[in-house]
Structure 1
Amino acid sequence: MAGRDEGSGAQRVLWLSTIAFTLMFAVWLMFGILGKPISKEFGLSEVQLSWIIALAVLNGSMWRLPVGIMTDRVGGRKVMTFLLLGTAVPAFLVSFANSYAMLLVLAFFVGFAGNSFTSGIAWNSTWTPRERQGFALGLFGAGNVGASVTKFIGPPIIAGTAGATYLGIVEGGWRLIPVVYAVLLVIMAAVLWFGTPSQDRMAGQGRPLAEQLVPLKQVRVWRFSLYYVAFFGAYVALAAWLPTYYMDNFDISLQSAALLTALYIFPASLLRPVGGGLSDRFGARKVMYGTFAVMLLTTGILMMPNGHLVIDHADGRTTEHLGYAIGLVPFTILVFLLGCAMGVGKAAVYKHIPEYFPDNVGSVGGLVGMLGGLGGFFLPPLFAYTKAWSGFPSSTFFVLFLLTVICAVWMHWTVVRMMHRSTPELAGHVEAPHATDVRTAAVPTT
């Protein structure tokens, strides 16, 4: 009976925390869709809009370490409920913003919702057996699909309610969406509080704070964080950036851009459980090699600018050669594949954490999530500035390509060093060693 009760509690924690995280993720990234009508109303430039998006991402990242530690100490039930209620207030107030400065402040506080990821990861890791943690944490992380919620409901609500007023105070159009989210956040807080076990599990209860922070001294933790910048920070930044990219470069409507962006968000979110399952079965490192390869291929193609070579000949003639332009369909397919790789890669990174740091998932997962999320803060302005500097919209993907190269090289270098340390006798071999060499290397030395 106790086993069934514990299993039921774990299932309730997993599913309700996932739903709550999905909602908070939708709120966190709602400015990706609201950005266009907001820019039109307030007359904002692309760079100004990028800072609204970036500030929301910043506050959704900077508290992940303390939120993870707090979850280990007081339990995910209390922390997740607090995050839901704490995000509802600024979300509601966004509807009444009347200046760019006010939008910046409220976007920052709305971003508080993004810290729910670390809380949910630490919470679920205490309720899930180790052999199933890859899948369970991947399923919870699939709440990233919340980034697509506003892509679906936003354009029709904006178009269908523009000019209307509700309850005498709430305007229609883009201003109605944050109010709807605020109400849903309060309802979800009540459902989570009363629907999950009151006797929570806390991996760090009673442990000194200094002890929880000890693993953060390891280089491995910071390496995982950089990987997570490529898989998650880039995902967040691109999810917010793509609607505007589609509209500016392919001349399509907001609704069409939102739907096409959802084709990137869905695999980048829903494949996370698949990535967790593959990591459970084959190992996280092998999975990450595959995801980095796909990311390098897709961003390598996407970063190529449209255009052609112009040659000025000695006789005064000018000729054009090697014309290149990527159409909407191939662009969307490549972005879809990029999203697939990111979704699998995100789960692979977090598969490492409970294996290496089973008693410090909150602190280690918090730091990895924080630095990964901060990548999502820096990338949107970087996209805007590199485009302004180069004149190429595709410079967005050059930034992602360069980031992926750095991560892949560091991971491979680390793997090679590990192999050389474990089998130094084989370190000098370029070709496969002879059988006698293998037998000699396999004999342990004292």
Structure 2
Amino acid sequence: MSMEPRPSEIRALQLSVDSTESDEERYASLLIVLPLALAGFIIAAACWTLFAVVGVTLRSNFQLSELQFGLLLAMPMAVSALLAVPAGLCASMWGARKVMLCCLAGLAFSMALVFFADSFGGYILAAGGLGLAGGFYSAGLQFVAIHCRPQRLGLVLGVFGAGITGAGFNYYLVPLLQQAYSWQGVPLAYVIVLLLILALFLMLTEPDDQTAFLVSNAGAWRKCCAPGVWPLCGYFSVIAGSFFALALWLPDYLSARSGLPVSLGAHQALWFILPGALAQIAGGALADRLGSSRVVIWALLLALAALFVLSYPPMTLSIEGVGRFYHLEILLPRVWEGGVMIMLGVALGAAIGALQRMIILESRDATAVMAGFLLLGAFAVAFVLPIVFAAINAWLNVRSAVFMLLFVMLVACTLLFARHTRRRERRELFF
């Protein structure tokens, strides 16, 4: 007697096959989605530091005060921090692709404002519009996450996060464009690139699947409010915020330490920024293979070793001998100091990549929202730390005391993270 399958079983099997084919198509599209998202984030990150280079010309043209110049520099990052969480919520409700397209269009419009502005108020408005880069990051993290398998999540997020290198490219590209044309040629070139990426997004990516977002958005806030997520967000804020704060502070430190112009100090600081940004890829890939917790702890220990070495200022020891004094000068050679800086950047970048993977896995249904909170926390720490750095230098008159402060902060972060990991392992073991 033959047993024919029931119609309900046939429909279930067909749905399963269709779902498998849909997943395969979605994962295959990662080869297109990831390069586009990376290119978009590189140019978006470059918007954060545009006025750090172009603003020098504007400062002399408009006779800006210190407060006005500082406000011009801070506006893109401040608005990015404010827009990160709302952009994540919009990406969860309406789709990450739509939010990314809106952010790219807004960035292009803001760059056009930079080109046509003729007053300080106009430049402030344009600088605020460049804060849409934060919204692009929040939506972009979800956009690439939904196109990759969990086994490769750390690598994919690390590649996307490496787009922060765009913030350092301005120090090289913008002066070249200024010399070739004028400073007005810089925003015009950015507008062309942004519109090109926007057109590629429209042509090569598929519209968002609304049903997927309606299903996942129901439990988004429950994922965000999970008890183990917020401590991880705090650790990420401290580590990533320390990295961003050092990236902002190192040009002045290196120029004052070596007696170089600030522009050359900025070029030397790229040896910290670029390896650190690229190390996110290695950190995420190692986390996929070895586990996030292990990579984060080893990376933090490497960072602590580098900070310990950098914390010691140049000093001279006087030793009383028989009939004479011996003077022992302790000074880290400049080449060695550069190597330790690279090691510090790589360690922090690897920790950021591994920890980012850990957080997104904990809140996979609320990726864009969590990305917004991560960016908000990191920028808050990066905003506070330079002020603290300046206060420490004014109080102690020892420039390397900044590294001492970061050493203490990361020691506390490492111990708390290790305790959090141990408690989590015990909880999983017994339950």
TM-score range, shorter chain: 0.7 to 0.9
Structure 1 pair 321–61 and aligned structure 2 pair: CA distance change class (3 A): farther
Query: Are 2:379 and 1:373 aligned?
Result: yes
Structure 1 pair 126–246 and aligned structure 2 pair: CA distance change class (3 A): same
Structure 1 pair 422–287 and aligned structure 2 pair: CA distance change class (3 A): same
Query: Are 2:281 and 1:262 aligned?
Result: no
- Structure 1 CA distance, aligned partners of 2:353 and 2:405? 22
Select which of 378, 383, 389 maps to 2:389.
383
- Structure 1 CA distance, aligned partners of 2:27 and 2:226? 34
Gaps of 5+ in 1: 162-171, 314-318, 424-443
Provide the residue aligned with 1:432 in structure 2: none
Q: Which runs of structure 2 are paired with 1:393-408 in the superposition (5 Å)?
A: 393-408=399-414
Select which of 179, 182, 186 maps to 2:191.
182
Select which of 198, 203, 218 maps to 1:194.
203
Structure 1 pair 31–207 and aligned structure 2 pair: CA distance change class (3 A): same
- Structure 1 CA distance, aligned partners of 2:125 and 2:388? 21
Q: Which runs of structure 2 are paired with 1:306-321 in the superposition (5 Å)?
A: 306-308=314-316
Q: Deviations over 1:399-422 (max 9, x none)?
A: 432331221121122234445667
Structure 1 pair 286–402 and aligned structure 2 pair: CA distance change class (3 A): same
What fraction of aligned residue pairs are identical, expressed as a percent? 26
May I ask how many residue pairs the two structures share in their alignment? 407
Provide the residue aligned with 1:348 in structure 2: 354
Provide the residue aligned with 1:247 in structure 2: 255
Structure 1 pair 48–409 and aligned structure 2 pair: CA distance change class (3 A): farther
Q: Deviations over 1:370-429 (max 9, x none)?
A: 212322232333333333333333343334323312211211222344456677xxxxxx
Query: Are 2:224 and 1:237 aligned?
Result: no
Query: Are 2:313 and 1:305 aligned?
Result: yes
Q: Deviations over 1:113-140 (max 9, x none)?
A: 1332221111111111111111111111
Bigger mean CA offset, 9-18 vs 233-242: 233-242
State the Cα distance separating 1:177 from its structure 2 match.
Answer: 2.5
Give the letter for the 1:403 counterpart.
M
CA RMSD of aligned residues (A): 3.3
Give the letter for the 1:91 counterpart.
M
Matched position secondary structure for 1:158: helix
Provide the residue aligned with 1:89 in structure 2: 109
TM-score normalised according to structure 2 size: 0.82
Bigger mean CA offset, 325-334 vs 116-125: 325-334
State the Cα distance separating 1:359 from its structure 2 match.
Answer: 1.9
TM-score normalised according to structure 1 size: 0.79
- Structure 2 CA distance, aligned partners of 1:303 and 1:44? 35
Bigger mean CA offset, 235-244 vs 79-88: 235-244
Provide the residue aligned with 1:220 in structure 2: 228
Q: Deviations over 1:133-176 (max 9, x none)?
A: 11111111111121222122123333454xxxxxxxxxx24x54
Query: Are 2:301 and 1:293 aligned?
Result: yes
Query: Are 2:355 and 1:335 aligned?
Result: no
Greater per-residue helix proportion: 2
- Structure 1 CA distance, aligned partners of 2:272 and 2:82? 25
Structure 1 pair 372–255 and aligned structure 2 pair: CA distance change class (3 A): closer
Query: Are 2:291 and 1:283 aligned?
Result: yes
Provide the residue aligned with 1:24 in structure 2: 44
Gaps of 5+ in 2: 1-20
Give the letter for the 2:287 counterpart.
S
Give the letter for the 2:299 counterpart.
T
Q: Deviations over 1:312-349 (max 9, x none)?
A: x9xxxxx9966444453233222211111122111111
Give the letter for the 1:380 counterpart.
P
Matched position secondary structure for 2:82: coil
State the Cα distance separating 1:282 from its structure 2 match.
Answer: 0.5
- Structure 2 CA distance, aligned partners of 1:283 and 1:142? 20
